[in-house]
Amino acid sequence: MAKKTVIQDRVKIRGIRKRWLVNSMGVVTLILLLAMGTLTLSLWAYYEGSMRDNLSSRASDTARSFSVYTRREYRTAAQDYVAKFPDKQKLEVQFIETDGSLLCTSYGLTTSGTMPGTPDITGAMESGDVKPWTGQDPQTGERIMAVSAPIIYQGTTVGVIRFVTSMAAVDRQLFLSIGVCTLIGIAILTMVYFSNLYFVRSIVEPLASINETARLIADGSYGIQIEKKFDDEIGELTDTINDMSLKIKQSEKTQSEFISSVSHELRTPLTSITGWAETIQSGELKDPGDVRKGMDIIVSEAHRLTNMVEELLEFSRIEDGRFTLSVEP
């Protein structure tokens, strides 16, 4: 039975540790996930926004420089610009006709007359403003960012200049940043886990010791004391149980002394009553005076026993809180 109780206590202790760790780790994990989600969105917005702003500024400046050309001059200037474009390894520059077809491009594998058909081109022609777009290239399926700016000559759109760049580098940088953040989050979770484990152990182990001592007290080992190791709530609990153990021991001692005293007090009148009753019963007393004396002693000792019993009943009522004390001078 004792072994079963110990096993149950160990299960309870493990339950406390489990609940503590699950609750604390759950909160920390949720906070980290929210922080990582916010950071990821911020990084994504920063990288993509920076690239979009740079491309938009470059497209706007280049379109402005082409606004001095007529339609025919624009085509010649566009082909010359494409041929001398210095950033072919990073960007693709395209010149689009007003019908949406490709005039020329710095990317050699793309042929003239191709229709890119992305929303930034039509948006730039219709609004007359720079229009960015991010998505999959209809021809290659690659994720790209494109910025189109209309080339306007004397109020007439003669074409569109379009800068295109791959988002692979941005995505790679974003994934790298997320990976670093994930590693940092795992490191934080690990530190929180082990610190919580140490903290829970500092609570659970003293509780196990207190529980074991309380069981010993319940089994009759009154007066046993627990070593106080902490000056906190656990220390206060230790002091309380130690004080309880001493008071129970004192109460047991007092009760034992009381029973011993009562037994001694009861033995004297009972001896007198028994002795005189047996003497009278045996018929050895012939003198009526002696018989009367014996009977008086029996009655007196019986009254004494009655008073003692009444006092015991009053003592019992005092302990039960049913005793009313009437104080008089």
Q: How many residues make up the chain in this entry?
A: 329
Render 112-147 in DSSP notation, one character per residue. Answer: TT-----HHHHHHHHHSS-EEEEEE-TTT--EEEEE
Q: Which of the four pLDDT bands, split at 50, 70 and 90, describes residue 15?
A: low
- Six token digits for residue 251: 């109460």
Q: What is the pTM of this model?
A: 0.55
pLDDT tens per residue across span 116-148 = 878 898 888 888 899 999 888 877 778 889 999
Residues sharing a CB contact under 8 Å with residue 63, sequence separation 6 or more, in sequence order: 130, 149, 150, 151, 152, 161
Local structure of residue 329 (DSSP, 8 states): -
Core vs surface per residue 219-245: b (16+ CB within 10 A) or e: eeebeeebeeeeeeebeebbeebbeeb
What's the CA dihedral at 310, 315, 316, 318 to 10 degrees? 130
Looking at the chain, the whole-number percentage of residues with pLDDT higher than 90 is: 5
Whole-number CA gyration radius for the chain: 50
pLDDT tens per residue across span 153-210 = 888 888 899 999 888 888 888 888 888 888 888 898 888 888 887 877 777 777 777 7
- With 0-12 / 13-18 / 19 or more C-beta atoms within 10 angstroms meaning exposed / middle / buried, residue 59 is buried
Q: What is the mean pLDDT of residues 33-53?
A: 87
- Alpha carbons 291 and 289: distance in angstroms, whole number: 5
In 3D space, the residue among 101, 102, 147 whose CA is nearest the CA of residue 124 turns out to be 147
